[in-house]
């Protein structure tokens, strides 16, 4: 019975995974969550963190001893002693054997003791590189969330525009039938029908353009989400979050404290400074412990052992100015990163101010255009009524219909700009646009 329950559970989990993969209806939150698991850029950034973590492990191994098995076969021109000559044969010391062909087999040991601070700094540099990779990963996640949010909001706008264009098309189609009836009755000239047909064709073309833009937006969304299949997806629009955002005065300090890209630049400054110190450490001596155990034999394979232990020191005396040049290069790199930090700070400040101005502008436009839509609808109703009663012209109806479509387009653009500006503000101060966006 227990095995049956386990089997059923495994089948259920497999079906759930397949269903999630085949899912084609998403809310904004679900789209972001799906993208964070499937977008190739995010997955690549995850691998970069793994690579830098291995870099930390590699840097730590520089402090560890190195043990090697060694072996070689060497032919000399003149016979060579198989063991070092020590003492004197006259004093009874055994004279070493000599041979042209010498075999060596053994083991070597090397332990670095001091390298001018480069051992510890190497580990620290690797750890900072890992932290930078994590910041870049966090920034990529927020950037992806913002991009998906902007596309989803654009889809919402295009759907509203398509709805308005379809309504305008139906209204003109109705008006065209009225014109045809009046033409048959001989109460209007044929030119009014021609004008109506021209406007109707223009509206049809507008519907096609909006429809194509909507399809393109869905394809872009699929690309951002990491969807490879050709199936169509739909988006269920959610009410935008009305969470308060900080004041303009607080925003810059909050952004500098929270934005991952700015934190990455600060860590990059630290990294370049550490690299300069590490390079300067090459001027200091290298001290290491070395040991070796060897068995050596000639052509008769009569192996004789020998070993050595040494405390070694290497101090650079002349390198043609290489170390000085490398230090200067490192300092120039550090100056470059400091300017990058200043540039990014200016860009963040401008990004925040632009978002604030766009929010205020879009809100004012939303109020104005909303009234414009109401006025345009009433104007169209009146012009349609006038035309049906014989007191208006077809041109007035067409103009009123075009004015309504323009007013609705302006209104939906203002709504889109406002929602996108709020999302841009939250991104600018380093806040997650969606609760699903959280750095591991």
For 139-160, how does the pLDDT look when each residue is reduced to its tens digit (9 = 90+)?
999 999 999 999 999 999 999 9
pLDDT at 1 over 70: no
Q: Shortest CA distance to 407 belongs to which of 381, 385, 379, 383?
A: 379
Domain locations along the chain: 25-82+97-337
Instruction: Give this prediction's pTM.
Output: 0.83
So what's the pLDDT on residue 92? 59
Tell me the angle at which helices 118-185 and 190-225 cross, rounded to the nearest 10 degrees: 160
pLDDT of 75 strictly over 70: yes
Residue 106 has pLDDT above 70, yes or no: yes
- Across the beta sheet with 286-297, the strand order is 66-81, 98-114, 286-297, 304-314
For residue range 220-279, list pLDDT tens digits in order. 999 999 998 778 888 888 776 666 667 778 888 899 999 999 999 999 999 999 999 999
Contact 31, 225 (CB under 8 A): yes
pLDDT score of 88: 62
DSSP-assigned letters across all residues of 89-136: GGGTPPPPPEEEEEEEEEEEEEEEEESTTHHHHHHHHHHHHHHHHHHH
pLDDT at 65: 94
Question: 25-82+97-337, superfamily in CATH?
Answer: Outer membrane efflux proteins (OEP) (1.20.1600.10)
pLDDT given for residue 11 in this prediction:
47
- Torsion-angle region of 59 (φ positive above 0: left; ψ -120 to 50: alpha; else: beta): alpha
Q: What's phi and psi for 403, nearest 5 deg?
A: -65, -40
């Amino acid at each position: 019975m227990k095995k049956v329950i386990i089997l059923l559970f495994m089948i259920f989990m497999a079906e759930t995974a397949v269903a999630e993969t085949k899912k084609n209806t998403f809310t904004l939150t679900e789209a972001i969550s799906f993208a964070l698991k499937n977008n190739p850029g995010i997955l690549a950034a995850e691998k970069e963190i793994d690579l830098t973590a291995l870099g930390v492990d590699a840097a730590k191994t520089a402090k560890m001893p190195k043990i090697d098995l060694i072996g070689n076969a060497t032919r000399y021109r003149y016979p060579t002693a198989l063991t070092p000559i020590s003492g004197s044969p006259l004093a009874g010391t055994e004279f070493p054997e000599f041979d042209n062909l010498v075999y060596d087999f053994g083991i070597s040991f090397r332990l670095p003791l001091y390298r001018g601070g480069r051992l510890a700094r190497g580990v620290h540099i690797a750890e900072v590189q890992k932290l930078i990779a994590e910041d870049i990963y966090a920034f990529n996640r927020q950037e992806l969330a913002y991009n998906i949010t902007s596309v989803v909001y654009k889809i919402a706008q295009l759907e509203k525009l398509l709805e308005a264009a379809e309504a305008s098309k139906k209204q003109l189609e109705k008006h065209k039938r009225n014109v045809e009836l009046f033409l048959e009755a001989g109460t209007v000239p044929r030119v009014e029908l021609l004008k109506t047909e021209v406007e109707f064709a223009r509206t049809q073309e507008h519907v096609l353009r909006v429809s194509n833009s909507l399809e393109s937006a869905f394809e872009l969304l699929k690309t951002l989400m990491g969807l490879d299949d050709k199936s169509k997806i739909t988006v269920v629009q959610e009410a935008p979050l009305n969470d308060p955002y900080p004041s303009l005065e607080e925003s810059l300090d909050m952004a500098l404290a929270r934005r991952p890209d700015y934190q990455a630049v600060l860590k990059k400054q630290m990294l370049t400074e550490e690299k300069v110190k590490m390079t300067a450490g090459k001027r200091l001596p290298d001290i290491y412990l070395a040991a070796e155990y060897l068995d050596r034999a000639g052509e008769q394979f009569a192996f004789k052992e020998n070993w050595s232990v040494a405390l070694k020191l290497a101090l650079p005396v002349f390198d043609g100015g290489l170390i000085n040049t490398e230090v200067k290069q490192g300092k120039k790199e550090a100056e470059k990163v400091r300017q990058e930090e200043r540039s990014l700070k200016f860009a963040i400040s401008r990004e925040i101010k632009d978002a604030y101005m766009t929010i205020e502008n879009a809100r004012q436009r939303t109020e104005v255009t909303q009234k414009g839509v109401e006025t345009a609808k009433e104007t169209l109703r009146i012009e349609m009524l006038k035309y049906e009663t014989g007191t208006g012209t077809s041109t007035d109806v067409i103009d009123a219909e075009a004015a309504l479509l323009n007013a609705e387009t302006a209104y939906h653009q203002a709504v889109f700009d406002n929602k996108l500006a709020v999302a841009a503000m939250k991104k600018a101060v380093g806040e997650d646009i969606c609760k699903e966006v959280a750095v591991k």
